[in-house]
């Protein structure tokens, strides 16, 4: 399983703050998981297709080519605005 988390505007656009998906060869990298999720529908395409989208794997900001493993936590969020 991959544990997916969505924050802020991304969470609102999807109407969903978390989701579990099975790990598979289709989702073996950050990039593959992203395109797999975008196929879920127009809402997903819009929310996860934003050019400034950030993705963290196990709470560290990740690159598109990073590998995903069974049990990973993958978070999707917009640029941060704290402080």
Partner 1 sequence: MAAVLQAQVQEQAFDPAALHRSLKVADCGAVVEFTGYVRGGEGSAAVTTLELEHYPGMTERSLQLILEDAAARWPLLAATVVHRVGRLAPGEPIVWVGVGAAHRGEAFAACDFIMDFLKTRAPFWKKEHGPAGSAWVEARSSDDERAARWQPPQGSSR
Report the interface residues with partner 1, using CB under 8 A. 5, 7-9, 52, 56, 59, 75, 77-83
Q: Where are the alpha helices (DSSP H) in the chain?
A: 8-14, 30-38, 42-48
Nearest CB to partner 1, comparing residues 25 and 82: 82
Minimum CB–partner distance for residue 60 and partner 1 (Å): 8
Residue entry with tokens 């289709």: 26
Q: Smallest distance from the beta carbon of 83 to partner 1, in angstroms?
A: 4
Q: How far is CA 46 from the centre of its chain?
A: 13
The set of residues, in sequence order, having a beta carbon less than 8 Å from that of 17 and lying 6+ positions away, is: 5, 6, 7, 11
Q: How far is the CB of 39 from partner 1 (least distance, A)?
A: 25
Q: Which is nearer to partner 1, 39 or 59 (CB)?
A: 59
């Amino acid at each position: 399983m991959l544990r997916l988390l969505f924050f802020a505007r991304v969470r609102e656009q999807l109407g969903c703050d978390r989701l579990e998906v099975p790990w598979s060869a289709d989702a073996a990298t950050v990039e593959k998981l992203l395109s797999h999720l975008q196929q879920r529908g127009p809402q997903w395409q819009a929310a996860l297709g934003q050019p400034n989208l950030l993705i963290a794997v196990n709470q560290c900001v990740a690159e598109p080519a990073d590998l995903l493993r069974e049990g990973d936590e993958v978070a999707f969020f917009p640029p941060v605005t704290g402080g």
